[in-house]
Structure 1
Amino acid sequence: MDILTIGGILLFLMLLLLSGGVWIAMTLAICGWVGQAFFTTTQPGLNLFSAFWESNASWELAALPLFIWMGEILFRTKLSEEMFTGLAPWLGRVPGRLFHTTILGCGIFGSVSGSSAATCATIAKVSLPELKKRGYNEKIALGSLATAGTLGILIPPSITMVVYAVAADASIIRIFLAGFLPGIVLMLLFSGYIAWWSMRNKAQMPPAEPVTSFREKLRLSKNLIPCALLIIFICWSLLAGWATATECAAYGVVGALALALWSRSLTWANFNEALMGSARTSCMIMFILAGAAFLTKTMAFTGVPRELAEWVGSLNLSPYSLIACLVVVYLVLGTALDGISMIVLTAAVVMPMIQKAGFDLVWFGIFVILLVEIAEVTPPVGFNLFVLQNMTGKDSNVIARAAIPFFMCLVVCIALITLFPQIVTIVPDLVMGKVK
């Protein structure tokens, strides 16, 4: 049977199972089994066991549950709220004032949680009531929260980055380092739009608040400083090459527990909730990775990725044409799948195409993560939209419309890293060059 026909059959089966509500991991494993059982001469049972073991018996993957646990600790204690409270007094004179706390709060919390949904939920819990009480425009607040929450998967350390690095067999540290500068650029784009909107719509901004003394600002920021120091320590350990990603994740967990104890917000109840929450999320992601690894073996046995890569090469597409095609593919997938599923579902097929076209896998990782960020705010399956819908009672489509200007900031960021790939590669090249 023709290779592309086999690929089409497996793709149809995958879509059929997904539309029927079958778990992502089970769908991947079933498609892998069918592909090997009917289209190859290999033994699917033997390959199933080896794929499940090889995909999860990874030292690099050990960072995943640790980063998730660290985010759960901060999410379920008072530390996240205190971070927002400490940020607010420093923004009184900036155009947009407290609107920027959503961007800065999501950026800071996202750097330690690694989760888009956790970042969005945490910052929304403390910022929405405060902004509403002070008379800030609710539409801008919702739009900025929905999109800035996605910074949790772009600013390292990030769960999605770890999953991509494992799926693409790329360096986790290089992927982490590559996310810093695009994350800063995206935060500047978000804040730039807020500043522009506030200057154009002064009538919709609340009156300026009384000026806070420097001493009062420091008092309110006393609990922000330890969290900031923890983040700086984790990031510096990566940048300086003092620790691996897994070791940094372990430091983050120990630091988060120490800060929670110091602030007297850690109890046996929220400790148990954080531990169980991280276990459930980690098992779900690892199950998906195992199913994806089995499907990858099937793709390798059937030769579908190789044929697709050669077909793409025969089309002689320019780099921008290939990128444009992939943007469309990922945007379509983003309307129905979460980010991790998008990565593991497409890795076996897309990675050979990317390598054949001569793209850097680290750059492509950040490119994909930005597209995943767009998927987080794209109806009907936009996780951040669901988070805010549950918290505010507003329809997800209303929140999606409020996020459109910030959605365009994401598009601009994708265009910038495509036109200027050095935005992604310069930090890992410089740092890893020094490390070597």
Structure 2
Amino acid sequence: MEQLGSAGGVALFMLLILGGGVWLFPAFLLVGVVGLFLFNGMDLTRIGPILSQVLWRSAASFELSAIPLFIFMGEIIFNTNIAQKMFRGISPYVDRVPGRLLHSNVGGCTIFAALCGSSVATTATIGRITINELSSRGYDRSMMLGSLAGAGSFGLMIPPSINLIIYGVLAEQPIAQLFAAGVLPGLLLASLYSAYIAIRCWMDPSMAPKGATTFTWWDRLRGIWDLGPVALLIGSVAGSIYSGIATPSESAVIGLLATVILAGVTGQLSIKMLKRALLATVKTSCMILTLMAGAGFLAVAMGYLHVPQEVAAGIGSLNLSPMWLLVLLTLFYIVLGCFLDGISLMVTTLAIVLPLVVNAGFDPIWFGIYLIIVTELALITPPVGLNLFVLQGLTKLDIRVLAVAAMPFFFLILLAGVILTVFPQIALWLPDVLFDK
């Protein structure tokens, strides 16, 4: 693989920088500048204008405006009782299913992911509600925590997913089609989780003991009422996108406005709450957008250095079939996901990986969903599994205990990836129908 000259040098320098504990944004800039200086012979008078132009262009894309709006929407929901009502609305409908309220982790995360687009916020919000509730009723701790860690990853897949917005911008793919493509795979993953919980609890009923609470038909009717605000918010975002009324960025405004109105109508809107939500939004948005800007410069630098072409030539020399290429990339992302979170994983690798998969004949919309599935694994793999850290903060348990609890759901995510590969129309059917793709 003699083709991997500058590519190997850049990769080695990147590993040294990241291994030294440098934050990702300055690491991206440093690797790009040093790479252009050493391997391309550029002086700083040429690198400077490239750096300034790329940083501005990467962070000023109109499509990225949806990110802080969806984050703000999720933070407002986090600071209201909407999630508590959602749990109360789901509970009567899962009480007679094997696993009972364990399914509220899956259902709650599925619904909340459709509101905020963040896996960390989904795990934290639902976990804050269900952990104490399920623990007090004697539910199996490992199944409770594992299902919560796994289902929290739905925030990456189910629209409005922040990761899908980032992929759409980086890969230059229509975000509305990516949102549509994420719906059925997200529901597939939720179904796999619920089926696993039901089978395990059917085999061992002690994992989900029957509680003293008995739900009546009145409770089920009240559950519909409790789920009403959630349905309204999901409908305002998804309906505006798929009906063609609004772009994803415009739908974020609609969703945020509906959330503020709902918080005001229910008497939970206050200056203090808005200030707290806005501060959290600024912190998270700045982190994401600086990563995008840094990754944009690194991608341009790698283009000047012909790194994608060298890597493609090196992998091409292996004469891999498309399926073996996908297997290799999956293993690559599993290993890398042990050390990077989902967004960092995507912005660091996409400039090299996307041309490979497109040349191998994979649809870029489909690959976006597949990439989300494999990056979901990064959320529940130590030592840098963000969902595990969230649960550790809520439970004070050792990270190894949480990783073991999440292991079955790790394999279920892999199974979803296999199913999506065998039946790609699971991701492509809805965009074809809605957008005549």
Matched AA of 1:147: G
Asked if 2 retains the 8 angstrom alpha-carbon contact of 1:146 and 1:403, the reply is yes
Specify the alignment match of 2:8 in structure 1. 8
Alignment check: 8 A CA contact 2:3 2:313 kept? no
Q: Which one-letter code corresponds to 2:204 in the other structure?
A: N
Partner of 2:272: 269
Q: Would you say 1:159 and 2:166 are equivalent positions? A: no
| Number of residues of Structure 1 aligned to a counterpart in Structure 2 | 433
CA–CA distance in structure 1, aligned partners of residues 382 and 226 of structure 2: 37
Q: After TM superposition, which residue ranges in structure 1, 4 or more long, deviate above 6 angstroms?
A: none
Q: Distance in 2 between matches of 1:177 and 1:313?
A: 32
Q: Please identify, of 86-95 and 20-29, the stretch whose mean Cα deviation from structure 2 is larger.
A: 86-95
Q: CA deviation at 1:242?
A: 1.8
Q: Does 1:399 align with 2:425?
A: no
Shift of 1:86: 1.6
Q: Is the 8 A contact 2:137 2:211 kept in 1?
A: no
Contact map agreement 2:114 2:234 (CA 8 A) in 1:
yes
CA contact (8 A) 1:313 1:357 kept: no
Q: Per-residue deviation at 1:216?
A: 3.0
Letter in 2 for 1:21: G
Task: Map residues 282-431 of structure 1 onto 2, 5 A cutoff.
Answer: 282-431=285-434
CA distance in 2, matches of 1:223, 1:148: 21
Which residue of the partner structure matches residue 82 of structure 1? Answer: 85
Relative to structure 2, which stretch is displaced further, 102-111 or 350-359?
Answer: 350-359
2:86 touches 2:230 (CA, 8 Å); kept in 1? yes
Any idea what SS the aligned residue of 1:48 has? helix
Q: Does 1:127 align with 2:130?
A: yes
**1:40 to 2:43 alignment:** no
Corresponding residue number in structure 1 for 2:31 = 31
- 2:4–2:314 CA contact under 8 A, matched in 1: no
Describe the shift of the 1:220–1:9 C-alpha distance in structure 2 as closer, same or farther (beyond 3 A). same
Given residue 325 of structure 1, which amino acid in structure 2 is its aligned partner?
A: L
Bigger CA drift: 73-82 or 183-192? 73-82
User: For the residues of structure 1 that align with 2:317 and 2:17, how far apart are their CA atoms?
Assistant: 32
Q: Which amino acid aligns with 2:114?
A: S
2:397 partner SS: coil
Deviation at 1:223, TM superposition (A): 3.3
Q: Aligned letter for 2:91?
A: A
What secondary structure does 1:222 align onto?
A: helix
Name the CA distance, whole Å, in 1 between partners of 2:12 and 2:314: 20
Which deviates further from its counterpart, 263-272 or 33-42? 33-42
Partner of 2:18: 18
Q: Within 5 Å, give how 1:185-200 maps onto structure 2.
A: 185-200=188-203
Task: Quote the residue 2:256 is aligned against.
Answer: 253
Corresponding letter in the other structure for 1:271? L
Q: Closer, same or farther in 2 for the Cα pair 1:390/1:208, shift >3 Å?
A: closer
Corresponding residue of 2:99: 96
What CA distance in whole angstroms lies between the structure 2 residues aligned with 1:81 and 1:208? 19
Q: In structure 2, what is the Cα distance between the partners aligned to 1:22 and 1:44?
A: 21
Say whether residues 1:226 and 2:225 are aligned partners: no
- TM-superposition CA deviations, 1:3-43 (whole Å, max 9, x none): 62211111111111111111111111111111222222551
1:3–1:303: 8 Å Cα contact kept in structure 2? no
Distance 1:24 1:198 in 2: 42
User: Deviations along 1:244-280, whole A, 9 cap, x unmatched?
Assistant: 0001111111111111112212222221111111111
Counterpart of 2:431, as a letter, is P
CA distance in 2, matches of 1:219, 1:200: 32
Structure-1 separation of matches of 2:58 and 2:222 = 48
- How large is the RMSD of aligned CA atoms in angstroms? 1.5
Q: Which amino acid aligns with 2:217?
A: F
Q: SS in structure 2 opposite 1:264?
A: coil
TM-score where L is the length of structure 2: 0.96
Q: How far 1:307 sits from its partner (Å)? A: 2.5
| In 1: Cα distance, 2:207 partner to 2:143 partner | 11
Q: Distance in 1 between matches of 2:140 and 2:199?
A: 14
TM-score (norm 1): 0.96
2:220 to 207, 217, 224: 217
Output the CA distance in 2 between the equivalents of 1:190 and 1:26.
Answer: 39
Within the alignment, does 1:177 sit opposite 2:214 as a pair?
no
Q: Is the 8 A contact 1:92 1:208 kept in 2?
A: no
Q: Match for 1:224: what amino acid?
A: L
8 A contact 1:85–1:221 mirrored in 2: no
Mapped contact 1:3–1:304 kept (Cα < 8 A): no
Q: Secondary structure at the match of 1:243?
A: coil
| Preserved contact between residue 161 and residue 176 of structure 1 (Cα < 8 Å) | yes
- In 2, the alpha carbon distance for the partners of 1:54 and 1:40 equals 23
Give the counterpart letter for 1:154 in structure 2.
M
Deviations 1:85-135 (A, max 9, x none): 221122221121111100000000011111111100100111011111111
2:147 alignment partner, one of 127, 144, 149: 144
Task: Quote the Cα distance in structure 1 between the aligned partners of 2:430 and 2:224.
Answer: 30
Structure 1 match to 2:208: 205
